[in-house]
């Protein structure tokens, strides 16, 4: 069976959980097989929460990060994964929340897509055109065939149409600091050579998809790395979720660091993202907009 069709079948078949829960509640009401109904009801309700409720939540989380030599408020999102499980309707809600925030810029740390229809990308991401603040972005592994279809060129064109600036391999100076963008690590596009060839006294925010890419940077060249990719485990069951996090350096979500190429720690902030891959579930890890208040 085609993998996209399989994921679609999984997505829609999960709706069967609702009549099953109704049947369990009826069993309890009629006092039939109560022990079995009670045994099955808790995992069934947990599944329904993880499938239908939590993935549609949008949480705004504010974090102060001092010692950056930057005074700015940045909204960081990642891993929208529009396609099989989420669509433009969800992005419209995300843009509404972003528009209501008082931030200087929006940073999108890759993985815009999850098995999308390539010809519909411009329409899929049209809500981003409503954002009135600068929007900087890099692409992720699902956007660059690692895994998934290679829609790099088409996605860049669609994002540019809606005012999103893809800064992979580029440096942008703004308001006393600068932005730099690294490509995806799994796609082998996170070479920071361009950044090393443009040293500056200005503090630098490095936007990348995979937080492990921070290990290729130096502390002097990266004031703070903003990343996604991990999903915070997505299904955050204590003791198990870390096994699902795709980071070889142990990144999870929130603030962290890793030794850079010069041996000194490089600061990293990793967002848990907004979408789902694999299973259309999120548990104890709702979609999040991280608002970072950067302080000197």
pLDDT in tens, 122-158: 999 999 999 999 999 999 999 987 776 679 999 999 9
Q: Alpha-carbon distance 37 to 44, whole Å?
A: 10
Q: Do 134 and 13 belong to one domain?
A: no
pLDDT in tens, 201-239: 999 999 999 999 999 999 999 999 999 999 999 999 998
CATH number of residue 229's parent domain: 3.60.21.10
pLDDT in tens, 239-267: 899 999 999 999 999 999 999 999 999 99
**Per-residue confidence at 1, pLDDT binned at 50, 70, 90?**
low
Per-residue confidence (pLDDT) for residue 145, from 0 to 100: 72
Angle between helices 17-29 and 34-48 (to 10 degrees): 150
Q: Do 36 and 160 belong to one domain?
A: no
Q: Based on the structure, what is the number of domains in the chain?
A: 2
pTM: 0.95
Structural domain boundaries enclosing 19: 3-54
Q: Do 50 and 71 belong to one domain?
A: no
Q: Do 141 and 41 belong to one domain?
A: no
Q: Do 50 and 75 belong to one domain?
A: no
* Domain termination residue (choose one: 14, 33, 54): 54
Q: Do 154 and 220 belong to one domain?
A: yes
Q: Do 224 and 257 belong to one domain?
A: yes
Q: Do 45 and 118 belong to one domain?
A: no
């Amino acid at each position: 069976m085609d993998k996209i069709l399989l994921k679609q079948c999984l997505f829609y078949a999960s709706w069967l959980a609702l009549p099953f829960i109704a049947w369990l509640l009826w069993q309890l009401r009629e006092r039939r097989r109560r022990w079995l109904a009670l045994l099955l009801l808790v995992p069934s309700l947990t599944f329904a929460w993880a499938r239908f409720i939590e993935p549609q939540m949008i949480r705004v989380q504010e974090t102060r990060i001092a010692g950056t030599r930057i005074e700015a408020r940045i909204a960081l999102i990642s891993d929208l994964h529009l396609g099989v499980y989420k669509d433009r309707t969800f992005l419209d809600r995300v843009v509404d929340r972003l528009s209501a925030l008082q931030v200087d810029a929006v940073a999108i740390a890759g993985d815009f897509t999850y098995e999308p229809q390539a010809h519909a990308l411009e329409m899929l991401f049209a809500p981003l055109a409503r954002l009135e603040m600068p929007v900087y972005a890099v692409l992720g592994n699902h956007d660059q065939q690692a895994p998934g279809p290679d829609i790099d060129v088409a996605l860049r064109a669609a994002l540019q149409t809606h005012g999103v600036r893809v800064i992979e391999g580029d440096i942008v100076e703004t308001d006393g600091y600068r932005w730099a963008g690294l490509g995806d690590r799994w796609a082998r596009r996170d070479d920071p050579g361009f950044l090393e060839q443009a040293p500056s006294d200005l503090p630098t925010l490095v936007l990348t998809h995979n937080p492990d890419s921070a290990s290729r940077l130096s502390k002097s060249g990266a004031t703070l790395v903003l990343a996604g990719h991990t999903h915070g485990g997505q299904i955050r069951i204590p003791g198990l979720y870390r096994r699902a996090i795709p980071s070889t350096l142990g990144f999870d979500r929130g603030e962290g660091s890793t030794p850079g190429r010069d041996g000194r720690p490089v600061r990293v902030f990793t967002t848990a993202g907004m979408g789902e891959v694999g299973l259309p579930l999120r548990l104890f890890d709702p979609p999040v907009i991280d608002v970072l208040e950067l302080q000197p």
